[in-house]
Chains A and B, each alone.
Chain A
């Protein structure tokens, strides 16, 4: 690829400025601060864009996007016209402000869609040159590198060479990278370490697992307590029933005793009564008194009837005398009847008189006995009072009710086993147990047991540990990849680079240095003087030559479709006069096959040799 021209709408100090380039060597001459670096940055930015998310450097360097934003125009961008093998003539235009890119072919058709897209738009350079930005900067872009300008340290330079040998890139050290990865791996921790993320998470896991187990046990306990409560309530219920039965049985027994007593008293009364025929006597006596009065009445009536019969008999006899026959017979008959009646009544009266006498005697006798009977009645009354007391005590109205009470409290105690009877005593203690269980259950009513949450917490920690293990596996893979890559470079690229390095170095040093080699152990050796010398034993000037050769060898060793233009920003400024001249001549030679942009100040005190292909462009 060749860059034919650059037109800047606005970039750093340049506004609406065009630079024309040619194939071969382009000498871009300008004073310090003249804009050489700006132009280089512009070309690089058109191809690769600005680095995304670039921050201010520790040394105070400003990110390119901000650094080159023009002050006096709104337009921030421009275009390059390039000639490519694959695409032919192209115009690559960028607007850095809007972060947009447009690519036109020689018919002025926009063909941006044919290029790879990515947010940072840096893939165009990669599509065109076959190099990513990193590699481009590390090979084709030998800039006004701060480390080269400001650092004279041989060790630094030597490190760069080693890095190139190791990684193909001067600022990349594979050893450092692998060490950093290993250190990172250890910092994450493992079973042999302490207090590292892995260990902390393992401890946390063990803690939270214990907590989870505790919660599960707690929950089981809640179930157990509830079950226990249920059982206790049943026991208490049963104990209460048993107690009731017992009490009822007791009442039954007491009532039965009372009934017995009542029976006893009643029997006693009955016996007494039987003995004294008290009740009968009583009835007889009253009856006899009544009899005596009745007899007395009967006797009176009998007297009157006798008197009447006497008068009637007298009248009838007189009439029978005085009246003729047949009336005489009628009255004689009536007289006889009256006489018969008189005799009957007389007999009756006699019998009544006897009865009256007998009854009278009897009454007299009983009246004597009544004195005794008063004492007897007192005894009976006493028994009756006792029965009354029992009924009162039993809280019943009469003996019938007492029987009812007895049958009401009659209890079947068969289903009360002995054991249960023994347990009955514990009704109170059962109640106490229930109170304890209820208190325990109350605690669960308040306790926030989120087992699910805890389980998820454990899973999260396991995930975290898994993430650490994955990270460590990724570290392992990264190390493996780096070692593999380094091996490929050592095996495949280093021999190529070594050949080119020696070819270029020989040219630059006029054959003084030959057989410089980067060893597999990445030592730099030199066959010159038949000695193997370590890299830091070379002079600084020589190292610079080696470095330049190395960089060129790296670029040349790449097998690319496009010839990538080479950019050198005052790259020879620290060479001595002779070496600089030789190096320049070598570059001039190289420009026959590759477009070179050689940036220099006009103060450079050697005459730039010109060839037909050399163009000089002033920058200011």
Chain B
């Protein structure tokens, strides 16, 4: 019998995206994108009919996901000819008041946790163990009690990390796992993809912030195959760049995709006549200006007119302040000049 599965994690449905809020409407758009990315996977599952889909935690956001969404997802799960095995994550913990505990999931959805640590599929001879997150702590202790039956193909779903000492929870060593001799260890929790021997962490299905560069997607495996195949999500990328003012001129040429998210840290020297470019036709370009202004003489107090003198005073202050005050001082400069030019200031304020 040809047996296959999909392994995904950390979808974080309905997560807020405050850091994208600078561009109005973008967080909402991003949320929809992540959802449709998840739907794509389900659609593929519908077509390819893997025997199992494993979701290793953080499917949704406990504090944000409405019941309506859960109902939608459950409906989709029900329509798929695969057995879906879920564990909870730290964003959707298996608490008393969680959808995992209280929602009427479809019959092909199996939720593993403290209440039920494994599920066996006799026809396929597959046994799936699960250690999720349930706010109680000490979930890993159950690992000691697992006795593997070698006549089954044994899979562990774990919301945590393997061999990652900086991880603060559900951290387990590969030695320990080797002793238990699982055939496949399916991780969730860490948003970056990694794999080692039979331990696979797909990372988050979609990148969710700028610290999640690299590929995102899910693993697909046929039990007969030696290794799992990584299937990339068709999604925007988060790209961090450190550029000088010279290099940023080439930005559009080098990064023509306007739908990716960019965070550019500007470094190097800059004289005050050099302007920081704007890329308004890109969906999201955040520029962190860390350039150091070229050393120059202080602006003369002995300027020739009030306007210039005022400018010099503010500019001298600008040279010795941090970035937030800089923004205010630049605005002060602009406002002062406009006031001196007798512009109608009250027309300036528009949301």
CB pairs A–B below 8 angstroms (7 shown): A132-B304, A135-B304, A172-B340, A181-B336, A475-B332, A477-B329, A478-B336
Taking a contact as CB atoms under 8 Å apart, the answer to whether A177 and B340 are in contact is yes
Determine the distance from Cα of A451 to Cα of B16 in the docked complex, in whole angstroms: 8
- Is A448 at the interface (CB under 8 A from chain B)? yes
A-B contact count (CB 8 A): 201
**0 or 1 for each of A440-464: is its CB under 8 Å from B? (1 = yes):** 0100111111111101100110011
Which of B31, B67, B99 has most A Cβ within 10 Å? B67
Taking a contact as CB atoms under 8 Å apart, the answer to whether B310 and A558 are in contact is no
Taking a contact as CB atoms under 8 Å apart, the answer to whether A451 and B14 are in contact is yes
Taking a contact as CB atoms under 8 Å apart, the answer to whether B306 and A187 are in contact is no
Determine the distance from Cα of A489 to Cα of B98 in the docked complex, in whole angstroms: 69
Q: Given A456-B27, A478-B333, A187–B309 Cβ distance below 8 Å?
A: no
**0 or 1 for each of A73-88: is its CB under 8 Å from B? (1 = yes):** 0000000000000000
- Is A492 at the interface (CB under 8 A from chain B)? yes
Taking a contact as CB atoms under 8 Å apart, the answer to whether B273 and A478 are in contact is no
Q: A168's contact among B273, B305, B332, B339, by CB below 8 Å, is which?
A: B305
Taking a contact as CB atoms under 8 Å apart, the answer to whether A449 and B68 are in contact is yes
Taking a contact as CB atoms under 8 Å apart, the answer to whether B21 and A456 are in contact is yes
Taking a contact as CB atoms under 8 Å apart, the answer to whether A230 and B305 are in contact is no
- Is B103 at the interface (CB under 8 A from chain A)? yes
Taking a contact as CB atoms under 8 Å apart, the answer to whether A451 and B66 are in contact is yes
Determine the distance from Cα of A470 to Cα of B336 in the docked complex, in whole angstroms: 15
Residues of B near A201 (CB, < 8 A) are: 351
New A-B pairs, 6, CB < 8 Å, besides A139-B304, A176-B339, A227-B102: A117-B273, A181-B336, A452-B16, A456-B27, A475-B332, A488-B313
Residues of B near A489 (CB, < 8 A) are: 306, 309
Q: B328's contact among A131, A463, A473, by CB below 8 Å, is which?
A: A473
- Is B346 at the interface (CB under 8 A from chain A)? yes
Residue of A nearest to B345 (CB): A184
Q: Given A118-B273, A484-B313, A132–B68 Cβ distance below 8 Å?
A: no
- Is A338 at the interface (CB under 8 A from chain B)? no
Q: Given A223-B97, A456-B27, A181–B335 Cβ distance below 8 Å?
A: yes
Taking a contact as CB atoms under 8 Å apart, the answer to whether B66 and A169 are in contact is no
Which residues of B pack against A, CB within 8 Å? 14-18, 21, 24, 27-28, 31, 61, 63-64, 66-68, 71, 96-99, 101-103, 273, 301-310, 313-314, 317, 327-329, 331-336, 339-340, 342, 345-346, 348-349, 351
- Is A178 at the interface (CB under 8 A from chain B)? yes
Residue of A nearest to B99 (CB): A226
Residues of A near B335 (CB, < 8 A) are: 181, 184, 471, 474-475, 478
Q: Given A449-B68, A481-B314, A167–B305 Cβ distance below 8 Å?
A: yes
Taking a contact as CB atoms under 8 Å apart, the answer to whether B345 and A169 are in contact is no
Q: B339's contact among A131, A139, A219, A482, by CB below 8 Å, is which?
A: A482
Taking a contact as CB atoms under 8 Å apart, the answer to whether A169 and B307 are in contact is yes
Determine the distance from Cα of A602 to Cα of B24 in the docked complex, in whole angstroms: 64
Q: From residue B92, how far is it (CB to closest CB) to chain A in Å?
A: 12
Taking a contact as CB atoms under 8 Å apart, the answer to whether B302 and A441 are in contact is no
Which residues of A pack against B, CB within 8 Å? 116-118, 123, 131-132, 134-135, 138-139, 166-169, 172, 174, 176-178, 180-181, 183-184, 187-188, 197, 201, 216, 219-220, 222-224, 226-227, 229-230, 441, 444-453, 455-456, 459-460, 463-464, 468, 470-471, 473-478, 481-482, 484-486, 488-489, 492-493, 554, 558-560
Taking a contact as CB atoms under 8 Å apart, the answer to whether B66 and A448 are in contact is yes
Taking a contact as CB atoms under 8 Å apart, the answer to whether A197 and B351 are in contact is yes
Residues of A near B307 (CB, < 8 A) are: 134-135, 167, 169, 172
Taking a contact as CB atoms under 8 Å apart, the answer to whether A453 and B28 are in contact is yes
Q: From residue A501, how far is it (CB to closest CB) to chain B in Å?
A: 16
Determine the distance from Cα of A218 to Cα of B305 in the docked complex, in whole angstroms: 62
Taking a contact as CB atoms under 8 Å apart, the answer to whether A464 and B102 are in contact is no
Residue of A nearest to B98 (CB): A223
Residues of A near B14 (CB, < 8 A) are: 450-452
Determine the distance from Cα of A183 to Cα of B347 in the docked complex, in whole angstroms: 12
Residues of B near A452 (CB, < 8 A) are: 14-17, 27, 31, 61, 64
Determine the distance from Cα of A378 to Cα of B72 in the docked complex, in whole angstroms: 75
Q: From residue A465, how far is it (CB to closest CB) to chain B in Å?
A: 11
Top 3 closest pairs, chain A to chain B, by CB:
A167-B306, A477-B332, A452-B16
Determine the distance from Cα of A446 to Cα of B70 in the docked complex, in whole angstroms: 11
Taking a contact as CB atoms under 8 Å apart, the answer to whether B67 and A464 are in contact is no
Taking a contact as CB atoms under 8 Å apart, the answer to whether B339 and A481 are in contact is no
Q: From residue A390, how far is it (CB to closest CB) to chain B in Å?
A: 46
Q: A131's contact among B103, B304, B309, B336, by CB below 8 Å, is which?
A: B304
Taking a contact as CB atoms under 8 Å apart, the answer to whether B331 and A168 are in contact is no
Residues of B near A184 (CB, < 8 A) are: 335, 339, 345-346, 348-349
Taking a contact as CB atoms under 8 Å apart, the answer to whether B16 and A449 are in contact is no
